[in-house]
Amino acid sequence: MADHTEEDITSVLHENRLFKPKSEFSKQSHVKSRAAYDRLYKKAEKDPEGFWGELAKSELHWFKPWTKVLDWKPPFAKWFVGGTTNVSFNCLDRHLDGPRKNKAALIWEGESGDSRTLTYQDLHREVSKFANVLKNKGVKKGDRVAIYMPMIPELAIAMLSCARIGATHSIIFGGFSAAALRDRINDAEAKLVVTADGGYRKGGVITLKEKVDEALEAAPSVETMIVVNRTGTEVSMKKGRDFWWHDEMQGASAVCKAAALSSEHPLFILYTSGTTGKPKGVVHTTGGYLLGATITSKWVFDLKEEDTYWCTADIGWVTGHSYIIYGILSNGATSVMYEGVPTYPAPDRFWAIVEKYRVNIFYTAPTAIRALSKLGKEWPKKHDLSSLRLLGTVGEPINPEAWMWYHAVIGGRRCPIVDTWWQTETGAIMITPLPGAIPAKPGSATLPFPGISAEVVNKDGKKVPPNVGGYLVITRPWPSMLRTVWRNPKRYKETYWSDIPGVYFSGDGARRDKDGYFWIMGRVDDVMNISGHRLGTMEIESALVSHPTVAESAVVGAPDEIKGTSVCAFVTLELGQSPSEDLKNKLKSHVVKEIGAIARPDQIRFTDNLPKTRSGKIMRRLLRDIAAGRESVGDTSTLEDYTVLAKLRHDDEA
Ligand code: WT7
């Protein structure tokens, strides 16, 4: 844990409004009342394995049943041991015997307004074909496939194809740089990369294939690249290595049996930032992950056969994995997928899409809600949003003002809002209201999902009293938990299971109120949450010091009205280098090159020294205060050099 003390996690939020589920909503929902939630919760608490075992049977298709629900050798879990299943089969094949055969699985909207609908049968055919393409290129069960793509249907097809044959996918968000892509490809030793020439964003084209070419200059494991022609951008194709998607698909057979995979077969790796310079490959497996994604999709979004559901995330993040593709398709629902940004060609694009497809369930991030609310309610008012019946939010704490705007302007005061807390590591939603059962309080993720044992504790693992801040932990294993860090079980153990004895530590601070509701207070480690995306301060620091002019750097988050947090970098220069606006811009671009545009520092502040303790630890708390423009109230007696602090403050005023 970082230099936080428990006093740091004091809560300042006082929100008393309560929004009870409307009885018309409750009556038709999967979990209809607080009493029904309590029954489920208690049942799961008394007999977790019985609870999850029953659901695994009722919600998923298994080729072979398991012999043991849970094998728990802390902190390593195996779920549904001995069982075999297939995620692609559960998301596709099992819907083909009945009326879902010709139901829309994916409704895709391109940024420029083009649209494609794939029925379950269509998607099954495309996935089977691409699975055969992968096989033809020598991809075998257990091989890793890297996917670096825009938000187009081929991305969904590629991931489901991997799942079909037991190849483990590693999706890298298209906003990451060539260098970040190369590191992730190398860590996973991917054999094949799926990409596109480019994608559309804000009306322009972003190139992708070009970045893969650059990454592959130093990624020896990759033998093959498959390229989708999305934008018609000119690319160079390397003979014997690079192949066009459309050429390969042309001759591919549409028959490919879904492999019977062990429940613990690794489905995907997803890299996420931590407190070191190197992102971690979070590993999710098959049966437990799919159960988590499936049952939370059903109960949290109250998913019904006739619903059109839209999650605005990018599939490059875990939200897209679980709640655009796996959890939604496993339920046989209709998932809308959008390629572009919320404000193109105008600030009403999201609301235009809701109206166009009569979206019923809408899931987005607080940062988007804040940004769109700032643009004024005339934009949503231009559209008929009456199809909406449920709203969701994820990624960061939602401030009550944004919650109220979402509720009133988008939800017409009629839609319940589910504020869902979870993480890349948890695979599925962990703390959330069940919309027909749990009254909402704006800003609170409310209560744990049945079967999830969440607590707020102090450093010794002791439960703290109501309204006292502490660390958010999960005290029992759950089916969709990460299994390990890719090829680094030691890091898995140290990162998640060592700070607080015997439990999973999320890295978040939280408090519970007198009703037991959880209020998430954000990260307590050196990880920032920028627009709902996780970024390690160390990662950005390493990027900065890799620039020849930089001697040392410390990166902290500063409060930001829209992004939640902005990136503020304190930089000391090498001897002989002098600060300038030009250098600031160069350093910003350097970070973009090393990591990607999401990590671009909002501010660079040059300083002669960084404030350090006698033992040489950077005093981040002070830097956070300075970045936020707050007066430092902390104990500074261990400061190596008081003048450093005074100087930084002074510069700030200048
Ligand atoms: C971190 C996980 C899995 C969702 C996408 C982000 C923060 C997430 C909430 C919420 C307050 C939230 C936490 C968490 N977070 N949802 N509803 N309320 N904070 O996934 O990149 O793995 O980040 O996002 O700080 O630890 P991620």
Domain end point (choices 254, 287, 322): 254
Neighbours of 642 (CB within 10 A): 11
Beta strands in 154-303 (DSSP E): 168-171, 192-196, 198-201, 204-207, 224-228, 242-244, 261-262, 268-272, 280-284
Q: Which of 193, 227, 254 is the last residue of a domain?
A: 254
CA–centroid distance, residue 363 to ligand 1 (Å)? 14
Q: Per the domain annotation, does 535 fall within a domain?
A: yes
Residue-wise DSSP of 245-259: HHHHHHT--S--PPP
Mean pLDDT of 390-407: 96
> Which residue is closest in CA terms to ligand 1's atom 8?
395
Q: Using the predicted structure, report yes or no on whether residue 11 has a pLDDT greater than 70.
A: no
Phi, psi of 562 (to 5 degrees): -100, -50
Tell me the pLDDT band of 506, cut-offs 50, 70 and 90: very high
Q: How far is the CA of 532 from the centre of ligand 1 (A)?
A: 7
Q: Give the model confidence (pLDDT) of 204-218 as tens digits.
A: 999 999 999 999 999
pLDDT of residue 276: 83
Q: What is the CATH number of the domain that holds 176?
A: 3.40.50.980
Q: What span, in angstroms and rounded, lies between the C-alpha atoms of 127 and 123?
A: 6
What pTM, to 2 d.p., does this model score?
0.94
649/157: higher pLDDT: 157
State what percent of residues in the chain have pLDDT above 90: 89
Last residue of a domain, one of 232, 254, 276: 254
CA distances from 77 to 46, 72, 285, 484 (A): 19, 5, 11, 9
Residue 91 included in any domain: no
Closest ligand 1 atom to 523 CA: 25
- On the question of pLDDT at 295 being above 60, the answer is yes
Task: Give the least confident one: 291-300, 409-418, 522-531.
Answer: 522-531
Percent of the chain scoring above 70 in pLDDT:
94
Query: Distances in Å between the alpha carbon of 617 and those of 414, 516, 528, 573, 624?
Result: 51, 37, 19, 18, 15
Any domain includes 295: no
Q: What token pair was written down for 11? A: 């809560």
Q: How many angstroms is it from 390 CA to the middle of ligand 1?
A: 20
**Could you tell me if residue 578 is inside a domain?**
yes
Q: Report pLDDT for 654.
A: 45
Of ligand 1's listed atoms, the one at least distance from the Cα of 313 is 5
Nearest to 117 by CA among 351, 356, 363: 356
Strand partners, 420: 394
CB-ligand 1 contact for 13 (6 Å cutoff): no
364 lines ligand 1 (CB under 6 A): no
* Closest to 147 in 3D by CA, of 139, 540, 563: 139
**CB of 525 closer than 6 angstroms to any ligand 1 atom:** no
Residue 473: phi and psi, rounded to 5, are -130, 160
Tell how far the Cα of 373 is from the centroid of ligand 1, in angstroms: 21
- The separation between CA 61 and the C-alpha centre of its own chain, rounded to angstroms, equals 26
The reply to whether 380 falls in a domain is no
Ligand 1 pocket, 397 CB below 6 A? yes
Q: How much distance in Å is there from the Cα of 396 to the middle of ligand 1?
A: 5
Give, using CA atoms, the residue closest to atom 23 of ligand 1: 423
Instruction: Say yes or no: CB of residue 522 within 6 Å of ligand 1.
Output: yes
The residue-averaged pLDDT of 300-308 equals 97
* Binding site membership of 395 for ligand 1 (Cβ less than 6 Å): yes
Residue 547 belongs to a domain: yes
Q: Give the tens place of pLDDT for each residue, 34-93.
A: 999 999 999 999 999 999 999 999 999 999 999 999 999 999 999 999 999 999 999 999
Ligand 1 centroid from CA 424, angstroms:
8
Domain annotation covers residue 345 = no
The average pLDDT across 360-365 equals: 98
Contact assessment for residue 252 and residue 13, using Cβ atoms and an 8 Å cutoff:
no
Nearest CA, atom 6, ligand 1: 395
Pocket test for ligand 1, best of 173, 270, 322, 396 (most atoms within 8 A of CB): 396
Q: Is 403 in the pocket of ligand 1 (CB under 6 A)?
A: no
More reliable by pLDDT, 652 or 46: 46
**Which numbered atom of ligand 1 lies nearest the CA of 507?**
26
* Ligand 1 and 523: CB distance under 6 A: yes
Residue 394 scores a pLDDT above 90: yes
pLDDT over threshold 50, residue 646: yes
Q: Is residue 605 part of a domain?
A: yes
Model confidence at 639, in pLDDT bands (50, 70, 90)?
Answer: very low
H runs (alpha helix) in 519-641: 537-545, 581-594, 620-628
- Which has the closest alpha carbon to 148: 200, 91, 197? 197
- Of the given ranges (8-12, 277-281, 544-548), which has the lowest mean pLDDT? 8-12
Q: Is the pLDDT of residue 96 over 80?
A: yes
Dihedral sign computed on CA atoms, order 377, 383, 385, 386 = positive
Number of domains the chain is built from: 2
Task: Please give the pLDDT value at position 275.
Answer: 85
pLDDT digits (tens, 9 = 90+) for 173-205: 999 999 999 999 999 999 999 999 999 999 999
Q: Read off the DSSP letter of residue 100.
A: G
Write out pLDDT tens, residues 559-615: 999 999 999 999 999 999 999 999 999 999 999 999 999 999 999 999 988 888 888
Q: Report pLDDT for 631.
A: 59
3 state SS of 642: helix
Which pLDDT does position 242 carry in this prediction? 98
Query: What is the pLDDT, as a whole number, of residue 622?
Result: 87
Beta-carbon neighbour count of residue 572 at 10 Å? 17
φ/ψ bin of 427: left (φ > 0), alpha (ψ from -120 to 50), beta (otherwise): left
Task: Supply the CATH number for residue 569's domain.
Answer: 3.30.300.30
For 510-525, what is the mean pLDDT? 95
pLDDT digits (tens, 9 = 90+) for 132-157: 999 999 999 999 999 999 999 999 99
Q: What's the pLDDT tens digit per position in 255-269? A: 999 999 999 999 999
Which ligand 1 atom sits closest to the C-alpha of 527?
Answer: 25
What does pLDDT average to over the chain?
A: 94
What pLDDT band is residue 14 in, cutting at 50, 70 and 90?
low
Residue 6, pLDDT > 50, answer no
Q: What is the pLDDT of residue 371?
A: 95
Q: Domain containing 187: what range?
A: 120-254
